[in-house]
Amino acid sequence: MKPKKDPGPKSSKSKKEALEQEKQRAEKYLTNWQRAEADLANYKKRTDAEKSELSTSTTAGIILNLLPVIDDLERAFEAIPEDQRNKNWVEGMKLIERKLMLYMESIGLCKMEALGQLFDPNLHEAVCHIEGDVGKIVEEFRTGYKLRDRLLRPPMVGVGKGDTEKNDEEQEGQT
């Protein structure tokens, strides 16, 4: 067996330098790996959010096309003569409407309550001023809907302009 030769001081320094270089390379690889892992996690979050938004947009589009049908059903039920309201076919149609609305609610559709609330131009569509409390919604002409927390269709409302008799008295007092 041959005795090992002492590599000497130069060889020891070069080994330390080589070890230091390898440590730096390992740190660089670790940093790059961590960055790539973070990029992948961000990509997954972004694509999940995009899928969710696409799904919501698609659902909103379909529901927007069905809302006029729901409105028509409501108007049709209001127009049924009193003596016809207990007929089987009317009850059948009401059952169909209830099932449709239950399904719509299960996917996140909800009716907006507007009557008696303060008018908000971000949430309501004013179509006229009517006698009533100033700034409050006193009549609803078309139901508004939200899909989850997103406004899908604003309600068409009549907003109170105040008591007409009071307004007339105030105008007479000013002249």
| Per-residue pLDDT tens over the stretch 96-136 | 999 999 999 999 999 999 999 999 999 999 999 999 999 99
pLDDT of residue 13: 81
Kindly tell me the burial class for residue 144, based on how many C-beta atoms sit within 10 Å of its own C-beta (0-12, 13-18, 19 or more).
buried
Radius of gyration of the chain (CA): 35
In degrees and rounded to multiples of 5, residue 142 shows phi and psi of -145, 135
Whether residue 174 is predicted with pLDDT greater than 60 in this model: the reply is: no
**Structure confidence at residue 12 (pLDDT):** 75
**Per-residue confidence band for 165, with pLDDT thresholds at 50, 70 and 90:** low
Instruction: Share the mean pLDDT of the chain.
Output: 88
Work out the average pLDDT over 12-26: 90
- Residue 88 confidence (pLDDT) above 70: yes
Classified by CATH at the fold level, domain 111-175 comes out as Nucleotide Exchange Factor Grpe; Chain A, domain 2 (2.30.22)
